[in-house]
Amino acid sequence: MNTPGSWERPAAPFTSRVAFAAAHVVADPLGENRPGAPAVIDWEHTLAFRRHLWSYGLGVAEAMDTAQRGMGLDWAATQELIRRGAAEARAVGGRIAAGAGTDQLTGPASLDAVVAAYEEQLAVVEDAGAQVILMASRQLAAVATGPDDYRKVYDRLLAQASAPVILHWLGPMFDPTLAGYWGASDVAAASDQVVALIEDHAAKVDGIKVSLLDAAFEEALRSRLPAGVRLYTGDDYNYPALIRGSSDALLGIFAAIAPAASAALQALDRGDLSAYDDAFAPTVPLARQVFGEPTYYYKAGIAFLAWLSGLQPGFVMVGGLQSARSLPHLVRTFELADAARLFPDPPLAAARFTSLLSAYGVV
């Protein structure tokens, strides 16, 4: 195995970009974490993982899809996660934003019910002291009949927000139920709706996170945003070029590559583009592996790498989602993380990976 990378923690906040890592939750291995059951979380290691991200200068995007929103993490556990995460951020001086969505709803919902659900979660995030991320809503996508319904919901929410929020555009590769979000199946038409919304509420929009895995589209959208509104790339395939080109970042892969991401952003602050490229380049094959199809199961790779890196005691996830990736997929993930020199303790990673092989019957 390769020796660990020489990753230095930053002495001051990044100046050239704002960067969030979307953090996962660590499941309690003794909890009833099976499909359909309420989440049982290992709070000690969940919060320790956030301190790990903050130590590398990254902000934490809390309670996002990386944390298995809608895929094992229920609303009761989400509320506690937001409150605990925000309190931990205050204690260490870390930056935090948290997702407000509508996932407490079950079954068909009216437009008014969607608004009420958003309002409930918006209040939880603001009361906790975190910046609000208005997450894309499965329930809104199901009930909306066109762009006007999206505008009704977002106009109302943005009017209520007490501080600038981050909007959230998650493509169907991450969640198939979000196809046609913003009321248009064509992304160009949808972007027209998004830009009009942001222009009408520019004072209440810090930025928009875009996760469509289309670098050219993201660059075009970024050029249309009003001055002062950020585009937070959520493109886990093309992030080095997009961040270099002036996108900020809100990425699930940053949870797995925090030391390398920090090194790249420190280099960007210095104007050392060669060091920026050197830090990020080995992580791209790993990111494309972790986020390979079906992309929405990428969360298993994040937890897997945290376990191999000694950041959590076991490879177990809420909802039993550790079974979502095959052994060959995990083997390749292990190889690429080692090639990127991301394991802080290679003998520990090797021992844990060997134990997994043995559990699968591979001798």
Task: Check residue 350 and give its pLDDT.
Answer: 98
Task: Check residue 107 and give its pLDDT.
Answer: 83
Output the average pLDDT for the chain: 97
Q: How far apart are CA 351 and CA 341, in angstroms?
A: 16
C-alpha dist (Å) from residue 174 to 209, 231, 235: 13, 18, 11
Q: How far apart are CA 305 and CA 332, in angstroms?
A: 12
Place of tokens 């298995």: 68
pLDDT of 306 strictly over 90 = yes
Q: Which residues contact 72 (CB under 8 A, 6 or more apart)?
A: 33, 35, 39, 317, 318, 319, 320, 321
Closest CA relative to residue 99, chosen from 71, 67, 143: 67
What is the pLDDT averaged over residues 327-354? 98
Q: Which residues contact 249 (CB under 8 A, 6 or more apart)?
A: 17, 18, 19, 20, 232, 233, 239, 243, 261
pLDDT of 22 strictly over 90 = yes
pLDDT of 293 strictly over 90 = yes
What is the pLDDT averaged over residues 32-61? 97
Q: Beta 59-62 vs 96-100: how paired, if at all?
A: parallel
Closest CA relative to residue 49, chosen from 41, 11, 167, 275: 41
What is the pLDDT averaged over residues 135-158? 97
- Say if CB 240 and CB 284 are below 8 A apart: yes
Task: Check residue 254 and give its pLDDT.
Answer: 98
Task: Check residue 88 and give its pLDDT.
Answer: 98
**How far is CA 39 from its chain centroid?**
19
Over residues 157-212, the pLDDT tens digits come to 999 999 999 999 999 999 999 999 999 999 999 999 999 999 999 999 999 999 99
Task: Check residue 363 and give its pLDDT.
Answer: 85
Question: If 0-12 CB within 10 Å is exposed, 13-18 middle and 19+ buried, where does residue 271 land?
Answer: exposed
Task: Check residue 40 and give its pLDDT.
Answer: 98
Q: How confident is the model at residue 227 (pLDDT cuts 50, 70, 90)?
A: very high
Task: Check residue 224 and give its pLDDT.
Answer: 98
Q: Which of 7-11, 104-108, 134-138 has the lowest mean pLDDT?
A: 104-108
pLDDT of 266 strictly over 90 = yes
Over residues 234-249, the pLDDT tens digits come to 999 999 999 999 999 9
pLDDT of 108 strictly over 90 = no
Q: How confident is the model at residue 27 (pLDDT cuts 50, 70, 90)?
A: very high
C-alpha dist (Å) from residue 230 to 131, 147, 155, 174, 275: 14, 23, 19, 22, 24
Q: How far apart are CA 174 and CA 210, in angstroms?
A: 11
Q: How far apart are CA 240 and CA 65, in angstroms?
A: 21
Q: Is residue 6 helix, strand or coil?
A: coil
Q: With a threshold of 0.95, does the pTM exceed it? A: yes
Q: How far apart are CA 8 and CA 262, in angstroms?
A: 8
pLDDT of 122 strictly over 90 = yes
